[in-house]
Structure 1
C-alpha cells in the first residue's frame, strides 16, 4: 500500500476469529483491503456494509456490473475502489484498456461501447449528476435492460457512491496491486 494513513485506523492482525473468517471468504485468501479493515473495526458499520454488497451473481453480466462500478467510482474521483476493481475484475470482465480508460476519461458516446453499454454509461452518469433519469434516458436503458437489471444498476450506483464516500473521506491509501487512474 501507499504510505498515506487512513483517517480511521484499520484493524491489525490477528483479527477476531469471526472477522478473519469473513475476510478469508470475501478476499478468497488474499490479504484484506484497507477499506475492509477500517470498516471491520466497527461491528455495526461492518455488518451493514457486508449486507449491502452486490458482488454476488446477479441479473447483470460481470462485464455490465464492472462498467457500472468502474464508472461510478471514476465519477466520484475514487481511485482507490476503481483501482481495486480494475485490477481484480477488468480481465475476467473482458474490459479492454480502451474501455477501462473510457470509464474515467470517456463518456456514453465513446466509440468503444456497444449501444447497450452506451445506455448503461448514460444511466450511471444521469444518476451521478441528477439522482434520476429523464424519460428518454429511462427508455434508452429499458431498450437493453429489464426491470431487475435496471434495479441492480441503480443499487450498484448507490452502493459504490457510498464506497467512494468511505474511501475518499477516510483518505485510504491506494492498494499496491490496484490500478491507477489514467494520466
Structure 2
C-alpha cells in the first residue's frame, strides 16, 4: 500500500462551494479526510456515501456505536478508518486503551467487556465472518439490545465494511493524527 497517495486522486483545495460546505458540516472545521476528498471527486459515489452516514445520534450509545465500528474496521484490517475513529471518538465513548486494543487483538471474550458488549462484539464477529447470526448469537444480542439497536448494528457493520473496502482498496494513506493498530 502506498503511504502517501490514494489510488484515485483526491480533490485538492479550493473545493467547489457546495463540497466545501459539505466538508465543513462533516468535519466541523477540521481539514477533510482523504476518504472524503476521494469520494467527493465523484458525485454519484459521494452522494451515495453521504446518504449512508450513520454518525448521527441513533439508537446506540456513542460507546456501543464505536465498539461496532472499531471492531468491524479491525476485522477488515482497515487501519485507516479504525485509526480515524479511535482518534476522534474513543475518549468521548469512554473506551480505555485496553478496550481499544481489544477491538483489534481480542474477541468477545476479553475480560474488559461487559456482558452486553461481549454479545455486541460476538454479533459483529459473526456478521463479519458469516453474514448472519446463529439463534444463540441472536438471543444473546437480543438480551441486551432492542430491535432498533439490532438494526443499527447491522447497518453499521455493513456500512463500515464498505468503508473498509474503500479505504483498503484505494490504499488510502493513514491520516496524520489517526491512531495506529496496536502491535501484537
TM-score, length basis structure 2? 0.98
Aligned to 2:93: 93
Check if 1:54 corresponds to 2:47: no
Alignment of 1:90-129 (within 5 A): 90-129=90-129
Aligned to 1:141: 141
Aligned to 1:16: 16
Alignment of 1:153-164 (within 5 A): 153-164=153-164
Distance 2:164 2:4 in 1: 17
Distance 2:116 2:109 in 1: 11
Check if 1:30 corresponds to 2:30: yes
User: Considering only aligned residues, what root-mean-square deviation do their CA atoms show, in Å?
Assistant: 0.7
Check if 1:76 corresponds to 2:76: yes
TM-score, length basis structure 1? 0.99
Aligned to 2:64: 64
The Cα offsets for residues 135-176 of structure 1, whole Å up to 9 and x where unpaired, read as 000000000000000000000000000000000000000000
Distance 1:151 1:101 in 2: 26
Q: Which runs of 5+ in 1 are unaligned?
A: none
Aligned to 1:173: 173
Shift in Å at residue 5 of structure 1? 1.3
**Aligned length, in residue pairs:** 182
Q: Which runs of 5+ in 2 are unaligned?
A: none
Write out the 4+ residue segments of structure 1 that deviate beyond 6 Å after TM superposition. none
The Cα offsets for residues 48-104 of structure 1, whole Å up to 9 and x where unpaired, read as 000000000000000000000000000000000000000000000000000000000
